[in-house]
Amino acid sequence: MPSKKTLELKEFTVEDLRSELAETETQYQKMKFDHATKGLDNPLALREVRRDIARLNTEIRSRELESMGEEAIAGRSKIRARRAKRK
């Protein structure tokens, strides 16, 4: 079952997602610096922000894949098959 945050991201536009990603990454860098210098009250907040960044990246990528043409998707499948053979 998708989390509430994931469902909220479905309503955003791609531009909103990218701006939110930039803001969240900036926030994460600031939190990391603060944690290294003086410590955070709740260090688990770093984990939550990292997960939010991952959610945003996932949603952006899924929309990119949805907008790809049939040729691009077929090309992706060939690349994936070639990588699977290497293993």
* Per-residue exposure over 51-83, b if at least 16 CB sit within 10 Å of its own CB, e if not: ebbebbeebbeeeeeeeeeeeeeeeeeeeeeee
| Percent of the chain whose pLDDT exceeds 90 | 59
Please list the helix, strand and coil fractions of the chain in percent, rounded to the nearest 5, in that order. 80, 0, 20
Question: Between residues 33 and 68, which one has the greater pLDDT?
Answer: 33
Decide if 9 is inside a domain.
no
CATH number for the domain harbouring residue 28: 1.10.287
Decide if 26 is inside a domain.
yes
**How confident is the model at residue 87, as a pLDDT?**
67
Give the residue carrying structure tokens 């998707």. 73
Question: Between residues 29 and 79, which one has the greater pLDDT?
Answer: 29
**How confident is the model at residue 2, as a pLDDT?**
65
**How confident is the model at residue 1, as a pLDDT?**
55
Q: Print the SS3 string covering 19-37.
A: HHHHHHHHHHHHHHHHHHH
Decide if 56 is inside a domain.
yes
Domain that includes residue 70, residue range: 14-86
